[in-house]
Structure formats: C-alpha cells, structure tokens
Amino acid sequence: MNMTPVCPFVKASRPDDNNASKKSGENSMKHQVESESKGKKEVNDSASTSPKCPFGYDSHSFKIGPLSCTVCQALLFDTSKCVPCSHVFCKACILRFKDCPLCGADIVKIEPDANLQGVVDHFIEGHARIKRSVSSDKGEEATESKKVIYEDVSLERGSFLVQQAMRAFRAQNLESAKSRLNLCAEDIRDQLEKVGNTSELCSQLGAVLGMLGDCCRAMGDASSAVAYFEESVQFLSKLPKDDLEITHTLSVSLNKIGDLKYYDEDLQAARSYYFKSLNVRRDVVKHNSNVPSQVLDVAVSLAKVADVDRNLGDEKLATDGFQEAIDLLESLTLKSEASGLEQRRQSVLDFLRSQLPDKQEQAEAPV
C-alpha cells in the first residue's frame, strides 16, 4: 500500500498566477471566473499533494522542533514550566535540575503547562494523518462536490512515534516513551484491522510491544514487561516463519522473557523460553545458512541455554552447549567487509571459551 504522510497543520499554498494582473471589462471578469475554478480544482486535488510538516517532524534527519523538550530531545510530555524564567520541559526531565538548563536561572518552582501540553497532544494526534473527510461544497456546484479522504498512514506515523519514544527512552524519560509507543501500537492495530496481517505491520507491532516491555522493565515493572513480551510472542507465533524480521523479533522477545525469569530465579521457566528462542533461530538457519548474523544469533541462544543448565547443576549439558556454540562460530566464514560482525563473533567466542573448564584441570582430574 503506497501511502503518503499528511500533516493536518499544513495549508496548501496556491501557486502564483502569472496572469494575476487586473484587466478591464470582460478580461477582468474572465480572470476572476478562471481563478475561482482553479481554486475548486485545487481543493479536489489536494489529496494528491505531498505537504510537509511545518515543524519538520516528518524529516528522517535529527530534528528538535518547537514542541520538543531540549533535555530529552523528544516531544514534550507532562509539560512543566520553570518559575520565574518560564522555560518549558518535560516534568521528568526538569525535576533533575535546580537551575534552568536553558538560561541558568534558579528554579523557584515548577508549574504544569496544560495549555502547551494540549497543543502537543493535538499535534501528535494529527501528525501524518487526517481522519476526517473534507468536502468542497460551494453554492451551485454543491451537487458536484467531492470528498477528499486522507489515508491513515500508520507506518510513517509509527516511525515518527518510535523516533520520539527512543529519544525519551535514552534520556530515561520512560513515561514519555511508553506513552508514544502505546499510541504507535494502537495505530498499527487499527491498520491491521483495515488491511489484514501483512508481514510489515505484524513485525512492527511485535517490535513495538517488545519496546513497551523494555520500558516496563526499565521502570522496574517486571510483570507488565513479561505481559508485553508474551503478547509480542503470542502475536508473532501465529505468522509464517519465512520472514527474517518477524523471526528475529520473535526470538528476541522470547529471550527477554527468559532474562526476566532468570533474574527472578525461575530457572526452569527461563530455560524454557531460551530453548524456544533457540529453536526459532535454528529453524531460520536451516533455510538461511548463508546469513552470518543468523548463525551468531544461534550461538548466543546456545550460550543462554547452557548457562541455565549450569545453574541447574547439569555441567555436562552446559559444557556440550558451550562447545556446540564454539564449533558453530569457528566454522563461520565472514567476508572481509563484515568487520562489525567479525568483532561480534570474536566477542561471543571469547565469552564461550571462558565458560569451558580449564584443559589442564581436565587432564589432571581422575578418570
């Protein structure tokens, strides 16, 4: 589906009319009629234009706009105003300061700015989509009026929301990140109802649910994190496993549940989730053995399962798992330009080798 983001705050500019000079008599009247006809045509054709957000938030480049917090660099959330300087920030951001980050003035108190937050919320609601229909109903031509329906472009809007969420997340403004991701998830669910379970939409929803899980985990809410990760797994497990993006997101969510169970000392549950992730990645490698990153993922999953086995007291099973991962990575051939993957391969190999019992101790041990 080819969709173009439309910002409701943009106004289509009328092109300059080279024949705009006034003429007397019939020529002047003729120009007026032509101008009105042209205006009506522009209304009907406005859906085909590609307007840009006046604040620059539809740009893929880094942008801090007038509705952004200068601390977390994301859109304002729970907007708060410093007194007396009146500079505004996200509440979670400004509470870390005693002096205004912009002007250095002492902060006497912090007040909520509900009006500005309302503007931000309306901007977010409208960015990259218009839900309403616009009709060109003009006098005698009312019967010929046409509706201009703008598409809901969740993919473009989703990129915008995820960008803002990740900025907030990196700055530890977690409530802001969670709010933007929830909006993104709602948008994608709406699109799924309209166009069906496409691989692109499904993988995006799975990823967003996983990021929501990350937010909850960072906030110390492990139970909600597990719920989001499990929802991601439940959703992605229903989809065909021939899409690498979907299987990667699925395996990552399974591993994250395993991590939470591991930290909660529920080792059997942790192993179960790690093993499910391992099986997903093994199935992928069967059909994509020439993709080095997939082989690396299998080695990481083997290490996770082996680590749990060791903690459960099964040293032999753990050693076998570590050795299998080592053999897999040692047989992996990377192209010279894949320097990043080679660094990762070597890093994982170093860890795996450190987990094996010392060769000398093995030789000295009684048979």
Q: Which domains does the chain have, with CATH numbers?
A: 61-127 (3.30.40.10), 151-239 (1.25.40)
State the average pLDDT for the chain: 78
Amino acid at residue number 214? D
pLDDT, tens digit, 9 for 90 and up, residues 5-18: 333 323 333 333 34
pLDDT, tens digit, 9 for 90 and up, residues 83-139: 999 999 999 999 999 999 999 999 999 999 999 999 999 888 877 664 444 444 444
pLDDT, tens digit, 9 for 90 and up, residues 205-256: 888 999 999 999 999 999 999 999 999 998 888 777 777 888 888 999 999 9
Distances (CA, A) of 354 to 293, 303, 321, 326, 358: 22, 11, 13, 11, 9
CB 177 within 8 A of CB 77: no
The conformational region for residue 196 under phi > 0 = left, psi -120 to 50 = alpha, else beta, is: left
- The residue behind tokens 């990760």 is 229
- Main-chain dihedrals φ then ψ at residue 145, nearest 5 degrees: -65, 145
Question: Does the global pTM surpass 0.75?
Answer: no
Looking at 20-34, 312-326, 342-356, which range is the least confident one?
A: 20-34
d(CA 121, CA 219): 23
Question: Of 332 and 273, which is predicted with more confidence?
Answer: 273
- Predicted confidence at residue 128, as pLDDT, reads 64
d(CA 197, CA 243): 13
pLDDT, tens digit, 9 for 90 and up, residues 29-44: 344 434 444 444 444 4
- Main-chain dihedrals φ then ψ at residue 133, nearest 5 degrees: -100, 145
